[in-house]
Amino acid sequence: MRLPDLFSSRGFVLSIEMFPPKTAESSEALKRSLLSLNQFNPAFLSCTYGAGGSTQGQTLDWCQWIQQTLQRPSMAHFTCVSSTVDELTAWLQQAWQAGVRNIMSLRGDPPVGQQVFTAAEGGLSHASDLTALIRRLYPQMGIGVAGYPEKHVEAPSMDADLQHLKTKVDAGADAVFTQLFFINRSFFEFRDQCVLRGITVPVVPGIMPITDFARIRRITAMCGSIIPVELATQLEAVRDDAAAQFEIGVEHAIRQCQQLQAEGVPGIHFYALNKSDACERILNSLSLPSA
């Protein structure tokens, strides 16, 4: 099922994101986590791939596993990094033949060792270009794009970032999934600005529960997301207590999600980091539609 169909047929679209594991042991652990999360009736599950496209093949393998084993639609992440248009076209054909009907269209981060993104010779420079390519070649594909409630780290201003988002949506995107954030006000202001710019597709908040403060700090340092001072202070006070960090982080995410639901968001996209415990705690606290 494609993104437009999912959003039109469900009052609330729950989605969960995972990434291809590196070992057989971690693959089995991920399967157990996804089987457990499947009880919450996610509308779809998305699968990323490694830097520079290092796990592109595994992404499609996992998408097929999701569709065959969990009986859920999948969404494959897809970037411009280090690829020509011919290579991008070939991968899209593989995805379509694998039964994937939803793509998360992204420019991608600069390859390791590079500070600035540079398109491959014969490649594409922007997610909007990739979105337009997907829409032209596979008009029936569901397409998601990324939004940044606290601004993309490379954008010169919030206004410029929002204009770029509008360009991506106009190129053919069916939904916007946001970068992780910990301050709901940032999301609500972002959503309002999207409306003012004529962005009418669903804007879905992305939530990453804090279960390991050091790991989250590394992630936010790269993506520019802001951890509230009060929350950071609480987590810093228990930096040597993993269980306490988990409790504080999950309780914050529960409050976030309950408020987001109360404000009528079209869904929530969970960055689960390949584990189920935190997401299960959060999902059990929410009012979710039955299967």
Domain count, the chain: 1
Tell me which H or E stretch contains 170: helix 158-170
Query: Going by C-beta distance under 8 Å and a sequence separation of 6 or more, which residues neighbour residue 232?
Result: none
Write the pLDDT tens digit of every residue in 151-171.
999 999 999 999 999 999 999
Closest to 142 in 3D by CA, of 201, 191, 58:
201
Structural domain boundaries enclosing 22: 3-284
The yes-or-no verdict on residue 290 having pLDDT over 80 is: no
Residue pLDDT, tens place only, 92-105? 999 999 999 999 99
The tokens describing 140, both together, are 């029936």
pLDDT of res. 147: 97
Is position 188 within any domain? yes
Percent of the chain clearing pLDDT 90 (strictly above): 84
**DSSP annotation string for 89-114:** HHHHHHHHHTT--EEEEE--PPPTT-
17 is known as an active-site residue:
yes
Six-digit token string for 159: 């206004």
Mean pLDDT of 227-237: 95
What pLDDT is recorded for position 109? 73
pLDDT over 90 at 263, yes or no: yes
- Give domain status of residue 225, yes or no: yes
Ranges 77-81, 119-123, 241-245: which has the least confidence? 119-123
* CATH code of residue 279: 3.20.20.220
The active-site residue, picked from 17, 25, 150, 280, is: 17
Beta bridge partners of 15: 44, 269
Does residue 290 fall inside a structural domain? Answer: no
CA distances to 2, 23, 171 from 45, in Å: 12, 20, 23
